A and B are shown apart, each in its own frame.
Chain A
Amino acid sequence: MLKYILKRIVWSAVTIFILITMTFFLMHLVPGSPFVSDKTTPIEKANMEKKYGLDKPLTTQYTIYLGQLAKGDFGTSLTKKGRTVLSIITGKLPYSAKLGFMAIAFALIIGIPLGCAAAIKHESLLDRIIMLFTTVFISVPGFVLGTLFVVIFGVLLPIAPTTWEDIPANYVLPVLTYAFYPICYITKLMRSSMLETLGQDYIKTAHAKGLSGFAVNFKHALKNSILPVITYLGPLTAFLITGGFAVEKIFSVPGLGRFFIESVQGRDYPVIMGTTIILGSLMIIMNFFVDLIYSFVDPKIKLR
């Protein structure tokens, strides 16, 4: 067990290192400079580049950057004068994280019961309605759904707030948009897994020894079918982190996703790298924890 955990930690670290290296070299291969505008003269540009160390050879810049990272220093933003990348990220991350966690919770609360209901009432009208609904809506991209929500609740029935304020009302539509795809996915996952479990012999035994339908479904079946949903939590986090780029744009949330897109367009190297590294590491670490949880929930799985 300990060996497995150590192995996974090393593996995650290697992946993060590859991510850092790749991001660094990709960013610096991009032609175009953050200091290009109509007013800057070549001399000014050269001075700016010297100030931020962009005139040194790429490999030197790379080792300098790695050294700074090791000290927890992500550098300073090139476009937002004097602000460190870390301070910008820590200022923006709470909004994105709040949205993400609410969406995960919402998706689990709605998706698991829906999937169970569909499986228990297999082939009934309820099952068919749920399946039709999830099949159709799993194909609607989040950004399309979000834009439609804005049209419906912001324009046609103007009940949604139009400007961003950090109040609960402003979280309703973004969380709904975020959670829609995961709800459909979790419902499908839960339904098929539950159907498989309900066909097992021990469920028949449980029924035969006179347990109530409720006890069988919830104590035996649910517990044994929830595993795929747990596995899905890892990709789900990744989905929500990247999904944020669009959702935050639509609902003008001042979160990290929207900021990332802006800095890609503005070629703010330190910010792009800092954001990529933090978001990427977050995903990699989440996957690591999901694997661990997985092994605790299901003792059948032998960790290699």
Chain B
Amino acid sequence: MDKSNGKPSKRINPFSMHINPAMFERATDEEKQELVIMRRSTSLWKDAMRRFRKNTFAMVALGLLIVLILFAFVGPLFSPYDYDQFNKGEEKQGPNLVHPFGTDDFGRDLLVRNMYGTQISLSVGIIAAALTVIIGSIYGSVSGFIGGRTDNIMMRIIDIIYSLPDLLVVILLSVTLRKPLETLLENTEWLKGISGLGAPFFSMLIVFALLYWGTMGRIVRGEVLRIKEQEYILAATALGAGRAKIIRQHVLPNCVGPVIVTATLQIPAAIFTESFLSFIGLGISAPLASLGSMVTDALGGIYSFPYRIVFPALLISLIILAFNTIGDALRDVLDPRMKK
């Protein structure tokens, strides 16, 4: 490599397109150092999290959500009462020191009932969203990946589910499923542990899983259609990766942003439907507590105990508000199209 100092060994044709190595110098260590990137590169996630933290509203909503989760899941551990415990002689009390939210007509402590109601609402919302993620992303990625006629038929199926009036179908399904589920829960040994949640809880989850995965399916399909044209998929195929592996390793991780956003916004929708069904008397029912059914109870005694409406109403609204705000903020940070 000493050529730069010595004479060129061959005569160089001045019109040659070949690059003359003599024209180059080795970079010094200092120069090399300058090219090293000092700042650590940020991943999509770090960038998103950083911008999420800047959103004050979203952070407040996140804090609120954490408080609500603690209230619902940790709160009952500190309460001396149980949600279905009748306290004789303490019926129909207003808010006081022993029962901060008051008691109902049977002397049940309303604070602990509100905690359980919140717990049920949050569980329904989160499990339902998880189910839609699972079903929707499998369906969407299969549909988008195979494409062609299969894709067309699979998308038409979603169209049909969409054009059905959803709440009517939800009501029909949850009523239909209740009885078979009750017998199933009573007679199956390994389901004994969760049978306390009651058939309506599970029938609602099944209904959500059956009806509300369409949005997720469409979004995942759209992403998959976009991603599968990318070069790295071609490279993976060329290296001999199978379809399942490509979907699992390359496609799904790359559409995780929109999936998270859709799932977060799916949670308040499910919570709303749960409380709505419980309110009209087709969802969670006594002795279990649901925020929706507590509003119904409050409506029944509205002239004597108007304050009973306050807590469940506030809790439902706060839960939905928190999830909506977080979902909107996530959409802003995770959807690249929204980036300025």
Contact = CB atoms under 8 A, between A and B. Distances in A.
Contact of B169 (A22, A136, A260): A22
Interface in A119-142: 135-136, 138-141
Nearest to B324: A139
Given A29-B176, A150-B299, A264-B171, A246 B280 contact: yes
B173 A26 contact: yes
A141 B317 contact: yes
A151 B276 contact: no
Main secondary structure of the interface of A (DSSP, over half): helix
Given A26-B173, A135-B325, A144-B316, A15 B276 contact: no
B229 to A, nearest CB: 23
A239 to B, nearest CB: 9
A89 interface: no
A156 B299 CA distance: 14
Interface string B16-51: 000000000000000000000000000000000000
Contacts, number: 117
Q: How large is the interface on B (under 10, 10 to 19, 20 to 34, 35 or more residues)?
A: 35 or more
A82 interface: no
A246 B277 CA distance: 9
Nearest to A261: B280
Nearest to A18: B160
A31 B316 contact: no
> Chain A interface residue count: which class?
35 or more
Interface in B133-162: 160
Interface stretch (A202-210, A211-219, A272-280): A272-280
Interface string A12-50: 101100110011001101111000000000000000000
Interface string B286-307: 0000001001001100110010
Contacts of A250: 299
Given A31-B180, A143-B279, A246-B280, A15 B164 contact: yes
Given A238-B165, A264-B175, A249 B280 contact: yes
B295 A23 contact: no
A28 to B, nearest CB: 9
Interface in A267-289: 272, 276, 279-280, 283-284, 287
A265 interface: yes
Given A143-B295, A284-B163, A150 B302 contact: yes
B249 to A, nearest CB: 35
Given A31-B180, A32-B179, A150-B299, A140 B317 contact: yes
A260 B303 CA distance: 26
A5 B185 CA distance: 48
Given A22-B169, A242-B165, A249-B280, A147 B175 contact: no
22 contacts: A15-B160, A22-B164, A22-B172, A26-B172, A135-B325, A140-B317, A141-B275, A141-B316, A141-B320, A143-B275, A143-B280, A147-B302, A242-B166, A245-B167, A245-B276, A246-B280, A260-B171, A261-B282, A264-B175, A276-B165, A279-B165, A283-B165
Interface of A: 11-12, 14-15, 18-19, 22-23, 26-27, 29-32, 135-136, 138-141, 143-144, 147-148, 150-151, 154-156, 238, 241-242, 245-246, 249-250, 260-261, 264-265, 272, 276, 279-280, 283-284, 287
Given A156-B306, A245-B171, A264-B282, 11 more contacts: A12-B163, A139-B324, A143-B276, A144-B313, A150-B302, A238-B165, A238-B166, A264-B175, A279-B165, A280-B165, A284-B165
